[in-house]
Amino acid sequence: MAEKSGEGKLGGEGERIAKFLARAGVASRRDAEKLIEQGIVTVDGKILTTPAFKVTPEMEVRVDGTRVGKPDAPRLWRYHKPDGLVTTHKDPQGRPTVFEALQGRLPRVISVGRLDLTTEGLLLLTNSGALARRLELPSTGWTRRYRVRAFGKVTQSQLDSLKDGVEIDGVQYGPVRATLDQTQGGNVWITLSINEGKNREVRNLMRHLGLQVNRLIRTAYGPFQLGKLAKDTVEEVPGKQLKEQLGKKICEEIGL
**CA–CA dist 162, 175 (Å, integer):** 6
**CA–CA dist 41, 66 (Å, integer):** 9
Find all residues with CB under 8 Å of 17, minimum gap 6, and list them.
32, 36, 41, 43, 48, 51, 53, 54, 55, 61
**DSSP H or E segment with residue 80:** strand 76-81
Of the candidates 24, 94, 97, 15, which has an alpha carbon nearest to the alpha carbon of residue 53?
Answer: 15
Q: Is 116 a catalytic residue?
A: yes
Q: Spot the catalytic one: 83, 116, 160, 232.
A: 116
Q: At what angle do helices 239-254 and 129-136 cross, to 10 degrees?
A: 90
Of the candidates 149, 121, 125, which has an alpha carbon nearest to the alpha carbon of residue 136?
Answer: 125
CB 6 within 8 A of CB 88: no
65: left (phi over 0), alpha (psi -120 to 50) or beta: left
Quickly list DSSP for 15-55: EEHHHHHHHTTS--HHHHHHHHHTT-EEETTEEE--TT-EE
Write out the catalytic residue numbers.
116
